[in-house]
Amino acid sequence: MKQGDIITIDRSQMGGTGYYYYPVLLTGGVALLGTKNELVRDDGGDMEVGSPETQYFTFQFLHTGKAEIQLARFRAFDSEDILYEDVMTFEVESSESDLLGAWSLFEELDENDRAVFDKAVSGLTGVSYLPEQVSKQLVNGTNYRFFSYSRPAVLGTHRFPSILKVHVSTDGSVELQGIDRVVL
C-alpha cells in the first residue's frame, strides 16, 4: 500500500438477523472514509425478507509504516455475541504526492492556500466557512479540496463539516466548483 491509497472492504450477512460488521481497531493512521449497506437482489431483481446484505467500508492510509484494521460482527443489543476477525496488517510506503494528477494528503493551509480559499468564497452569503486543511491536485492548473467547517447564518444552527472544491487555472483565475457537506 502507498500513503494516500484508498481501499474498500466488504462483508456480507443475512438480513433481518440484526448482525452487522463494525471497525473495532484502526491503527497507524488509517481513516474510515465511509460505509454503505446494500441489499443483495435475486436474479429477478426482487428482495426477499432475510435477503443477504453487503456492507462496504472505505478506508484511507494517511501515514507510512504499519497500519491495522480489524472488523467485528455483532448485534448492538447483544454485547455478549461478538465475532472478532483477524487483524489485517498493511505496510504503508511513502508516495510522491506532487505527481501530475495525484491528490496530496490533507495538510495545514499556507498563506497561498488561504488566499485561494478567501478568493473562492468572497461574495458568498448565508454561510461562513472556516478552512481546516487542504489537499491539492496538479492538473491544467491546480485543483483544491478544502476541508472546512460551515456555519449557516441562522440563529441556533450548528457548524457542519464540508469540502469546498476550487480550481485555479494556469492564468491564476479562481473558480469555486462545488461545496459538499460531509456526512459523518
Distance CA 66, CA 89 (A): 7
Q: Which of 31, 63, 92 is the last residue of a domain?
A: 92
User: Each residue of 35-91: pLDDT tens digit?
Assistant: 998 876 666 656 566 678 899 999 998 888 899 999 999 987 887 889 999 999 999
The pLDDT value given to residue 96: 57
Number of folded domains in the chain? Answer: 2
Quick check: 105 and 94 in contact, CB under 8 A? no
87 and 125 in a single domain? The answer is no
- The three-point CA angle 114-119-124 to 5° equals 115
Tell the burial category of 173 from Cβ atoms under 10 Å away from its Cβ (0-12, 13-18, 19+). exposed
How buried is residue 25: exposed, middle or buried, by Cβ count under 10 Å (0-12/13-18/19+)?
A: middle
CATH code, domain carrying 59: 2.60.40.2020
Is there a domain that residue 23 lies in? yes
Range of the domain at 157: 111-181
3-12, 28-37, 39-48: the lowest-pLDDT one: 39-48
- Last residue of a domain, which of 92, 123, 146? 92
Note whether residue 97 is domain-resident: no
Taking the model in full, what pTM does it have?
A: 0.51
Same domain, yes or no: 14 and 83? yes
- State how far the alpha carbon of 137 is from the alpha carbons of 60, 103, 179, in Å: 17, 5, 17
Give the type of residue at 66: K
Helices (H), the chain: 111-121
- Indicate the residue among 42, 61, 92 that finishes a domain: 92
Rounded Cα–Cα distance for residues 78 and 75 (Å): 5
What are residue 36's DSSP bridge partners?
A: 56
**65 lies in some domain:** yes
In terms of domains, do 12 and 39 share one?
yes
